[in-house]
Amino acid sequence: MVGYRDSKESVRRRLRRIEGQVRGLQRMVEEEAYCIDVLTQVSAVTGALQEVALGLLDEHLSHCVRKAMQSGGPEMDDKVAEASAAIARLVRS
């Protein structure tokens, strides 16, 4: 079971909104919009994706990692390492 199951519809709505923003970016480039305007929209999309990622990470920590911590054993170490790697990827992006 995934940690975001209860918020799945909310995540899907946000991703559809982001998808629309990306389509808007494509139109802006096709119509040769002013570079700064395109960059502003790229920044908005990036921020929106980061919010989705942080929400998913929060769900993972509060559900999957917590459950693994309660059960202990090697699964706990695996989940903590997995979460740390995910955080590192988010920080680098």
Q: Is 36 helix (H, G, I), strand (E, B) or coil?
A: helix
> If you count them, how many residues does the chain have?
93
pTM for this prediction: 0.85
Quick check: 24 and 41 in contact, CB under 8 A?
yes
Quick check: 45 and 18 in contact, CB under 8 A?
yes
Q: What is the CATH number of domain 7-92?
A: 1.20.58.1000
Exposure class string for 60-87: b at 16+ Cβ within 10 A, else e:
bbebbbeebeeeeeeeeeebeeebeeee
The model's pLDDT over 37-54, given as tens digits with 9 standing for 90+, comes to: 999 999 999 999 999 999
The model's pLDDT over 56-85, given as tens digits with 9 standing for 90+, comes to: 999 999 999 999 999 988 999 999 999 999
Integer CA distances (angstroms), 33 to 43, 54, 63, in order = 15, 31, 43
Q: Is 7 helix (H, G, I), strand (E, B) or coil?
A: helix
